[in-house]
Amino acid sequence: MTLEGARPLFLDAGEAALVVEFGRIVDPAISDRVLALDAALAAAPPEGLRELVPTYRSLMIHYDPLRLDRAALIALVEERLAVPATRSRAAALWTLPCCYEAPHGEDLAEMAALMGLNAPEAAAIHASALYRVYMYGFSPGFTYLGGLPEAIAISRRSQPRPPHESKAVLVGGGLSAVASFSMPTGWYVVGRTPERLYAPERPSAFLFEPGDSLRFEPIDPATFTTLEARAEAGEIVARRQAA
């Protein structure tokens, strides 16, 4: 279901958060509406606004109900939605190095077989796509990506697998993702990037912004080792250009 072009839904999340919901699916047009409202409120935040949390299809607005009335907040949101918003910076196109070869693409062969492919075919398909950065969530730097090709749009596992390495590149549930930290997962680990998507010591701890585009660049294990050392020393090894 999509609410594209329609008045969004206003949903309470407890007593101090309002969810502005634009749709029920992962869709670039819905994401654009979410990000436009996020930018408009961030550019001129009302007194009492605490935090803005964009997702695929909604914007959660945390606010102080003693300083900002719910009805007044909804009226402000509707006012901001009526005016075109400008992003804080232009959308970027990122090239993110990714090693699909052993030992990094732990589940690539398994995922490929389930989709009727071999591992090199599945890796090539994954690397051929242009992805959209939709949101961060679940853990710091965990990046959700839309645009996964149908040929590898596998469902998530019925049971989580054991913890993977940090910086794992994942597929599952019709999406791709990059996980900054080691953790159990129901996704399939198809590769690993040497880049740090989350680095709290950087001026901007998160590398991407929602709305950016991303391509994966296949690299071999030796190149991975070299780039990982440079990334751990503080260098950004992903390449950024204007979208």
Among the residues of 82-220, which ranges form H helices? 108-114, 119-128
Q: What CA dihedral angle connects 47, 49, 54 and 55, to 10 degrees?
A: -140
Is the CA virtual torsion 91, 96, 100, 106 positive or negative? negative
Tens of pLDDT, residue by residue, the chain (243 residues): 444 457 899 999 999 999 999 998 888 889 989 999 998 999 889 999 999 999 989 999 999 999 999 999 999 999 998 876 555 567 899 999 999 999 999 999 999 999 999 999 999 999 999 999 999 888 888 999 999 999 999 999 999 999 999 999 999 999 999 999 999 999 999 999 999 999 999 988 999 999 999 999 999 999 999 999 999 999 999 999 876
Question: What local confidence, expressed as pLDDT, does residue 89 receive?
Answer: 60
Question: What local confidence, expressed as pLDDT, does residue 243 receive?
Answer: 60
Enumerate residues 6+ apart whose C-beta is below 8 A from 229.
none
In whole angstroms, how far apart are CA 68 and each of 8, 11, 188?
A: 20, 16, 43
Question: What local confidence, expressed as pLDDT, does residue 2 receive?
Answer: 44
Chain CA centroid to CA 152, Å: 18
Query: CA-based Rg of the chain, rounded to a whole angstrom?
Result: 19
